[in-house]
C-alpha cells in the first residue's frame, strides 16, 4: 500500500499524542500517586450507623504522626461534622458514608470529591499544604434541602491545631 | 468537448502544504492544551486524591 509522506506524518503524530496522553496519566498515577476513589473500603449498615465504632461518633482523629482520619456522615441535609479542622502539611483520609440517600462530598475548587453511597464508605486521602478554608458541598441532588447541604474544611497551621477532647 | 485538465501530477507529487500546516498547528494546540490542562489546571488544583494502589 502506498502511503503519502504527509499522511505518514499525521498518522505518526496522532499515535505520538496518544502515547503522550498515556505517559502523562502513568506519571500521575505512579510518579505522583494520584488515586481514584474505589470500592475497596468496607461496607456498613446505613440504618445502624449509630452502632458503628467510627461513624457513631464521626470526626477527626489522629492515626499517626501528621496522619489524620476524618469520619463523616452525610445525611439529608447536612454533613456530620459540618466543619472539619485539620492541620496543614499532613495526610488526611476522609471516610464518608451516607445514612439515607446518595450524596457527594466535594471540597470546592479542588480535585478532592467523591460520591457518597449509603452502605459504602468512600475513602479519599489528600495531602494538605497551605492553611486555608475550603467549602464542602453536596453535588448529588439529594432532595429539597440539597442546596443548603454544605460544610467547611479548615486547614489550620500545624502549631495552632488542637484535636477536640475525647468524650 | 475539450479537456480542462491543465497538469497531471502523480501520487507523490501532490503535496497539500496548507493541510500539513493546519494539522501541525492543530497538533501543537492540542499538545499545549493537554499540558496546560493536566499539569497546570489539574495538578495545580490541590487538594488532590492520592494514595498507594492497594
| B9: chain A residues, CB-CB within 8 Å | none
pLDDT for A162: 82
Same domain, A73 and A15: no
Cβ neighbours, 10 Å, residue A164: 10
Distances (CA, A) of B12 to A74, A166, B22: 66, 80, 20
Q: Do A59 and A105 fall within a single domain?
A: yes
Contacts of B46 in chain A (CB under 8 A): 110-111, 126-127, 129
What is the spatial distance between Cα A66 and Cα A92, in angstroms, rounded to a whole number?
8
| Pair (A84, A110) in one structural domain | yes
Q: State whether A6 and A73 are in the same domain.
A: no
| Distance, CA of A20 to CA of A4 (rounded, Å) | 24
Tell me whether residue A167 is in a domain: no
Residue A61 sits in a domain whose CATH number is 2.60.40.420
A15 and A58 housed in the same domain: no
Say which of B16, B38, B47 has its CB closest to residue A110.
B47
Q: Do A34 and B46 touch (CB under 8 A)?
A: no
Give the 3-state secondary structure of residue B49.
Answer: strand
Q: What is the ipTM of this complex?
A: 0.75
Residue A166 has pLDDT above 60, yes or no: no
A27 and A93 part of one domain: no
Residue A164's pLDDT band, with cuts at 50, 70 and 90, is: low
* Domain shared by A127 and A84, yes or no: yes
Please enumerate in sequence order all residues whose Cβ is within 8 A of that of A83, keeping only pairs 6 or more positions apart, or say none.
A151, A152, A153, A154
d(CA A79, CA B50): 23
The total domain count for chain A is: 2
User: Do A28 and A59 belong to one domain?
Assistant: no
Averaged pLDDT of chain A:
91
Largest CA distance in chain B: 77
> Between residues 14 and 43 of chain A, which touch chain B (CB distance below 8 Å)?
17, 20-21, 24, 28-29, 32-37, 40
Q: Could you read off the pLDDT of A18-76 as tens digits, one per residue?
A: 999 999 999 999 988 898 888 888 899 998 888 888 898 899 999 988 999 999 999 99
pLDDT surpasses 90 at A103: yes
Domain that holds residue A17: 1-34
Amino acid at each position: 500500500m502506498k502511503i503519502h509522506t504527509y499522511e505518514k506524518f499525521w498518522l505518526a503524530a496522532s499515535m505520538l499524542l496518544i502515547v503522550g496522553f498515556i505517559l502523562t496519566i502513568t506519571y500521575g498515577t505512579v510518579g505522583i500517586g494520584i488515586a481514584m476513589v474505589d470500592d475497596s473500603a468496607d461496607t456498613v449498615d446505613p440504618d445502624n450507623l449509630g452502632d458503628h465504632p467510627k461513624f457513631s461518633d464521626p470526626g477527626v482523629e489522629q492515626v499517626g504522626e501528621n496522619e489524620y482520619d476524618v469520619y463523616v456522615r452525610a445525611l439529608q441535609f447536612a454533613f456530620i461534622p459540618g466543619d472539619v479542622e485539620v492541620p496543614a502539611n499532613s495526610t488526611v483520609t476522609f471516610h464518608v458514608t451516607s445514612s439515607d440517600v446518595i450524596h457527594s462530598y466535594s471540597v470546592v475548587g479542588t480535585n478532592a470529591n467523591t460520591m457518597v453511597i449509603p452502605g459504602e464508605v468512600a475513602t479519599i486521602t489528600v495531602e494538605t499544604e497551605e492553611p486555608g478554608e475550603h467549602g464542602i458541598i453536596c453535588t448529588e441532588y439529594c432532595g429539597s434541602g440539597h442546596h443548603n447541604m454544605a460544610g467547611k474544611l479548615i486547614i489550620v497551621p500545624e502549631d495552632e491545631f488542637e484535636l477536640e477532647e475525647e468524650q | 468537448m475539450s479537456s480542462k485538465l491543465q497538469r497531471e501530477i502523480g501520487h507523490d507529487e501532490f503535496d497539500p502544504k496548507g493541510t500539513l500546516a493546519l494539522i501541525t498547528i492543530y497538533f501543537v494546540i492540542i499538545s499545549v492544551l493537554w499540558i496546560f490542562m493536566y499539569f497546570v489546571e489539574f495538578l495545580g488544583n490541590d487538594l488532590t486524591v492520592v494514595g498507594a494502589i492497594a
